């Protein structure tokens, strides 16, 4: 949707307005770049992609369609957000069913900000003795990051913005937009 000034019109999600931040064509190129790096790093291996629900489902789907190496996928569900803020309490809502001992794991996350959810997932996975654990995230808020682990495959480093679309949400809404939008507090 385009406004009268030729710029993309803002969108409304619940009670907030958001303006375009990243178009789907740019997203597609970024995902392709991540997939290419994973293909090179995992030649001759069978990694298990572990998508973190709910947000990562779109990124995980796009990423797996672009990865050309043999692989498998599973999902876990963790939650830390309440409204527009990441909370200190991490809720594990859906656990892992696969045997991962000795497996190469690639955690797929839509966004890493404080890193608290990912740190909890790392701790949980360690008990299962995987061969390796790496992280692929689409968005990384480096300025908000408070943990000490590496983002191995980072699609896009963003400032500490609140964003929706491409799986990212505001109270469960807005995930379905193919582009990414940032909160616009001027509207």
φ/ψ (deg, to 5) at 13: -125, 115
- Tell me which of 62, 104, 110, 113 is the catalytic residue: 113
Residue 39 in contact with residue 63, Cβ under 8 Å? no
**Residues 155, 108: contact at Cβ < 8 Å?**
no
Q: Which residues are CB-contacts of 179 (< 8 A; sequence separation ≥ 6)? A: 8, 20, 21, 22, 23, 24, 27, 165, 166
Instruction: Tell me if residue 104 is catalytic.
Output: no
Would you report the helix, strand and coil content of the chain in percent, each value rounded to 5?
20, 40, 40
Enumerate the active-site residues: 113
């Amino acid at each position: 949707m385009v406004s009268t000034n030729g710029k993309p019109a803002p969108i409304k999600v619940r009670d907030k307005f958001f303006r375009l931040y990243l178009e789907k064509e740019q997203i597609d190129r970024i995902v392709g770049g991540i997939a290419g790096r994973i293909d090179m790093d995992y030649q001759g291996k069978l990694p298990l992609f572990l998508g973190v629900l709910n947000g990562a489902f779109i990124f995980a789907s796009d990423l797996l369609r672009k990865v050309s190496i043999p692989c498998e996928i599973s999902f876990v569900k963790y939650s830390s957000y309440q409204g527009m803020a990441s909370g200190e309490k991490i809720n594990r809502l859906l656990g892992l069913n696969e045997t991962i001992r000795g497996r190469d794991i690639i955690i797929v996350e839509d966004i890493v900000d404080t890193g608290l959810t990912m740190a909890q997932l790392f701790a949980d996975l360690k008990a299962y003795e995987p061969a390796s654990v790496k992280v692929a995230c689409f968005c990384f808020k480096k300025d908000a990051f408070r943990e000490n682990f590496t983002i191995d495959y980072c699609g896009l480093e963003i400032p500490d913005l609140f964003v929706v679309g491409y799986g990212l949400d505001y109270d469960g809404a807005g995930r379905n937009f193919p582009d990414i939008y940032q909160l616009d507090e001027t509207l």
